[in-house]
Every structure is written in C-alpha cells, then in structure tokens.
Amino acid sequence: MNKAAGGFTLIELVVVITILGILAAFAFPRFASLEVEARAAAVQGLGGSIRSASALAHALSLAQGSPATVTMEGQAITMTNAYPNEATIDNTLVDITGFTYTDTAGGATFTKDGAATPANCGVTYVESAAAGAPPTITVDTSVC
C-alpha cells in the first residue's frame, strides 16, 4: 500500500510566505500613515472645541452684562474683553485627554501628546488686546 503524504511541500510554503510578505509591504505604510492622520484630526477637533467654548463663554458673558468672571460647568472662567483669557480657556473644555496644556506669555497652547514635533501639532489660543475683539485661535497640523 502506498500512503499519500499529507501536508504542504516546501515550495508551497515559500510561495505563501512570499505572498504574505508582499501584502505586508504594501499594507504597513498605509497603517503607519493613519497614526499621523489621526493626530491631525484630533488637533482639528480640539481647535473646533476651543472655538465653540470661547463663543459660548462670550455669549454667557454678554448675557450676564460682561462680568469679570463667568461660571461654565462649575468652572470659573476669567474674561478679558468678554472672551475667556488664556489662563482659564482650558477650564471651558470638559476633556483634553491626549493634549498637554501650557500657558505662556505668547498664548495658551494645547500640544498633541505623541506628535513627532509637538510644537507643530497643536492649537494656540491668544486673547485679543483690542476691546471686544475675538481671540486668535490657530490650529497647526504641519508636523503631527
């Protein structure tokens, strides 16, 4: 009796491994670039949130007769020119997980954690010196 050998030949295994290697070579760069795009999307989303929070605080300030501080979600927000100042803009946001907040003389910055160059992957909030003028909110996703 002649028993037929079961399993795969060496050639078949080499062909399958080669095909998997080729597929991985094309798929890996696509998945690697998704990380950068995800960081950029998160920064864009935070920029929109800061714009909305600033506008809501401004509306609340106007409705209350432009006081020096307003309260949003239990947080005291100090106002400058009827907009949140740089020191308390982070209090207008509920969650900034994944971002690092710093308040410097040049404005408040929210940088994305894990970015290749954090200084070029974030949102900057600069209060206006002119009375009644809105703050400058800059979104930078050049090196996320």
User: Do the domain assignments include residue 68?
Assistant: yes
Q: How far apart are CA 114 and CA 107, in angstroms?
A: 21
Flag whether 5 is in a domain: no
Domains contained in the chain, number: 1
Residue 101 forms part of a structural domain: yes
Handedness of CA 93, 99, 103, 107 (dihedral sign): negative
- Digit-coded pLDDT (tens) for 27-73: 777 776 788 889 999 999 999 999 999 999 999 999 999 999 999 99
Tokens of 67: 């006081």
Quote the domain boundaries for residue 123.
Answer: 10-140
d(CA 69, CA 84): 9
Contact 112, 39 (CB under 8 A): yes
Mean per-residue pLDDT, 100-105 = 92
Give the pair of three-digit tokens for residue 4: 């037929």
Q: Whole-angstrom Cα distance, residue 30 to residue 27?
A: 5
Residue 4 resides in a domain: no
Q: Can you give the pLDDT at residue 29?
A: 74
Tell me whether residue 85 is in a domain. yes
Is position 1 within any domain? no
Structure-token pair, residue 35? 């990380």
The beta strand positions in the chain, using DSSP E, are 69-72, 75-80, 83-84, 99-104, 107-112, 122-126, 136-140
